[in-house]
Chains A and B, each alone.
Chain A
Amino acid sequence: MKFQIPIGPQHPALKEPISLRMTVEGEVIRDADIRLGYNHRGLEKLAEQKTWIQNIYLTERICGICSHSHTTCYVQGVEKLMELEPPKRGLYIRTLVAELERIHSHLLWLGVAAHEAGFDSLFMYVWRDREIVMDILEIITGNRVHYGINTIGGVRRDLDAQQVQRILDSLAILRQRSEYYKHLGTNEPSFVARLAGVGYLSREDAIALCAVGPTLRASGVPMDVRKDDPYAVYDEVPFEVCTADTCDVLGRTVVRIKELFQCYNIIEFLLKNLPAGPVAVRAPRRAKPNEVVSRYEAPRGENIHYIKSNGTDKPERLKVRAPTLGNYAATIQMLKNGFIADVPLIFAAIDPCICCAERAVSLVDARTGQEKIISLNSLKSLSLKLSAGNERKREAEWPL
């Protein structure tokens, strides 16, 4: 007996709205369908109306977790357009925040994955220790989520020796805790039983379906923008690209935990080799007409910003390809022939950041199934026309 199960747009396993429709036979999924467009915010259009500097704060708000990824990606592109060369110290601090953000994102993911697997104790412990890295970020930037540290031509705040020492101290605690989570995540029998062999994505499929980030690396493809196309100071920093060859959710967990340790090494290297000098250079207000593609390895995978300038102080076009979008095609492949019980885990294993990936909405006629593109004004007038004759519904009344 085949029937369809809707997961989403509202579902406890999903932190953001998306619709997954599973065609299932008993507990086995035969087909899956992903529907987007529940959280479109019109960011790209908004960016065209704001200046280069204002857009830093706009791009920061694309994502609530990898906020630094989007600003860095954007700022790097704009610096290339303006032909700016940010000072070394500024780039070191930018990379430092990027790696701290990767730690906080991976710890967050580990907690979420544990919760999806019903292992709430690990979830609570990981999120407790995530506070340490959040505190470090607050020490450096003054903020926990939207750091606001990037600016065109460098960063906005400098580090002093006391801060460096505090970061190194906290890092030692984090490293110790991560050892424990590594042990727990790969040895606790009931947890491993849930992860191993779930959401299989072969190496060939991962490449063919353009998977990115830890999802791709867990299928044994050592692809990382930091190594392949180094930006900021990654060409000076020694680190390894972490991979796994199990091609399943367990592999994705292992890759992320391994990356945590790489992050600790990178941060220690950066702090010990922090060059002296200014942290930013002055940026012009306008950029010459040109276009650029900027790539960045976000915690979730490759983030791409395409920026086109036309000689004014505003971009003509900003196109954002968030890493989650790159993983959707692979997710459908992973879901097929899995169990319903594994849906939240498989979906969580790509570390979805749904509203970052929402770039467009399509209007579908419910009766004919026809899709069409419509302007905002005609959409408004259409809704007014449809609701013109309707009586206004009575508001709920306060019982007392």
Chain B
Amino acid sequence: MATVKTLIYLIIYPGLLFLFLYSTFVEWYDRKLYARLQNRMGPTHTGRFGLLQPIADFFKLMAKEDIVPERADKKMFSALPAFGLAIVFTAMMLLPLWNYSLDKPSVTSFSGDLIVVLYLLSLPTFIFFLAGWSSTNLFSTIGGARVLTMLFGYEVPLFLAVLSPAVLANSWRLAEIAAFYRQRPALALVNLLGFLIALICVQAKLERTPFDIPHAETEIVGGTFTEYSGKKLAIFRLMMDAEMVVVAGLLATVFLGGFPGGPLLGLLNFIVKTLFVIFFLSLIRATTSRIRVDQVVSFAWKYLAPLAIVQLLIVILVKGLLS
């Protein structure tokens, strides 16, 4: 029974199949929302309300010619998309959706899995950097350098913002943090500032406007992905969509009380809460313009990092008052 459960967990929900379908849905949701905010229609043609458009795009790209540049590091260039996808899908496994018990740590839910998820979500950034670097294209190289420069800006505030709820809940385990805030919903309000900081940092991590600097179309063409085409580009795009789902799921677990109610009700919870987070991400994307890479770093260290430390101090004070 446990083996069947694990197989379902790995392959169907929340594993490969669900994550693939849900990330295409999330891409549709983001595109549609972004388009409606800009007074456009967004995808309408493929499937009902254009729901199948991201899947159609995926398969179209899979069928396109796949070119590897002559001077690129060919092995690295080809392996990176697969590595990236695997990393993001692994991170998804660690979110406490179902198949875990609060009392008994297991492979998918253990003490410290919060740190592991954060670590796994840092790796895609390096994948992007390596992808840009191994392409040997001038625009990709600049894109890759920008990816790393941005990383120095947003990573520290993000960690501080995500770890402060964990400090209040007195646990490094995602399932326990979520359960803590489910029992005391009023305490989730303490982390409001941290939630806002995390939203902005996550926007930077996902490289979306105003932080779409590494692949700023009007400046450096395709940026890190200039040389990628066909299958590899399709996988990179799927990876970025999946990363959005995982990141939204992480924020929902840490700040919004997780996904209680077993497989079915938990699924509903998961969808509602991640779409809630992604709604804000789309809103930020529609209402801002791209900033420069030096502005990202100074913004992150002048405002985000101090505010994240303030959030940590608030959490420590509240914790002192409670005990």
B227 nearest CB across to chain A (Å): 15
Residues B219 and A13 in contact, CB atoms below 8 Å apart? yes
Q: Is A342 in contact with chain B by the CB < 8 A criterion?
A: yes
Q: Which of A27, A116, A125 contacts B39 (CB 8 A)?
A: A125
B272 nearest CB across to chain A (Å): 26
Residues A13 and B218 in contact, CB atoms below 8 Å apart? yes
Residues B38 and A194 in contact, CB atoms below 8 Å apart? no
Cβ-closest chain A residue relative to B290: A118
Q: Is A397 in contact with chain B by the CB < 8 A criterion?
A: no
Q: Is B37 in contact with chain A by the CB < 8 A criterion?
A: yes
Q: How far is the CA of A13 from the CA of B223 in the complex (A)?
A: 13
Given the interface pairs A118-B212, A125-B39, the reply to whether A340 lies near B142 with Cβ below 8 Å is yes
Q: Which of B138, B221, B286, B290 contacts A194 (CB 8 A)?
A: B290
Residues B287 and A121 in contact, CB atoms below 8 Å apart? yes
Residues B289 and A114 in contact, CB atoms below 8 Å apart? yes
**Chain A residues whose C-beta falls within 8 Å of the C-beta of B210 in the assembled complex:** 118, 190
Q: Is A343 in contact with chain B by the CB < 8 A criterion?
A: yes
What total of A-B pairs shows CB separation below 8 Å? 76
Residues A12 and B217 in contact, CB atoms below 8 Å apart? yes
Q: Which of A114, A118, A191 contacts B216 (CB 8 A)?
A: A118
Number of B positions contacting A (CB below 8 A): 27
Given the interface pairs A190-B210, A340-B142, A344-B218, the reply to whether A119 lies near B290 with Cβ below 8 Å is yes
Q: How far is the CA of A361 from the CA of B90 in the complex (A)?
A: 57
Q: Which of B209, B219, B292, B295 contacts A120 (CB 8 A)?
A: B209
**Chain B residues whose C-beta falls within 8 Å of the C-beta of A117 in the assembled complex:** 289-290
Given the interface pairs A5-B138, A12-B217, the reply to whether A341 lies near B292 with Cβ below 8 Å is yes
Given the interface pairs A12-B221, A344-B219, the reply to whether A193 lies near B295 with Cβ below 8 Å is yes
Residues B289 and A343 in contact, CB atoms below 8 Å apart? no
Residue interface bits B277-294, CB-to-A below 8 A is 1, else 0: 000000000111111111
Residues B218 and A115 in contact, CB atoms below 8 Å apart? yes
The A contact surface, by secondary structure, is helix
Q: Is B45 in contact with chain A by the CB < 8 A criterion?
A: no
**Chain B residues whose C-beta falls within 8 Å of the C-beta of A6 in the assembled complex:** 138
**Chain A residues whose C-beta falls within 8 Å of the C-beta of B217 in the assembled complex:** 12-13
Q: Is B52 in contact with chain A by the CB < 8 A criterion?
A: no
**Chain A residues whose C-beta falls within 8 Å of the C-beta of B218 in the assembled complex:** 12-13, 115-116, 118, 344
B290 nearest CB across to chain A (Å): 3
Q: Is A124 in contact with chain B by the CB < 8 A criterion?
A: yes
Q: Is B5 in contact with chain A by the CB < 8 A criterion?
A: no
Q: Is B213 in contact with chain A by the CB < 8 A criterion?
A: yes
Q: Could you tell me which residues of chain A, from 318 to 364, have a CB within 8 Å of some CB in chain B?
A: 339-344
Residues A118 and B221 in contact, CB atoms below 8 Å apart? no
Cβ-closest chain A residue relative to B212: A118
Given the interface pairs A124-B40, A190-B291, the reply to whether A341 lies near B216 with Cβ below 8 Å is yes
Among A3, A13, A190, A194, the one with the most B-chain Cβ atoms within 10 Å of its Cβ is: A190
Tell me the A residues contacting B by CB distance below 8 Å. 3, 5-6, 11-13, 27, 114-122, 124-125, 128, 188, 190-191, 193-194, 339-344
Cβ contacts A to B, 11 pairs, < 8 Å: A13-B219, A114-B289, A116-B218, A121-B286, A124-B39, A190-B290, A193-B292, A194-B292, A341-B213, A341-B292, A341-B293
Tell me the B residues contacting A by CB distance below 8 Å. 37-40, 138-139, 142, 209-210, 212-213, 216-221, 286-295
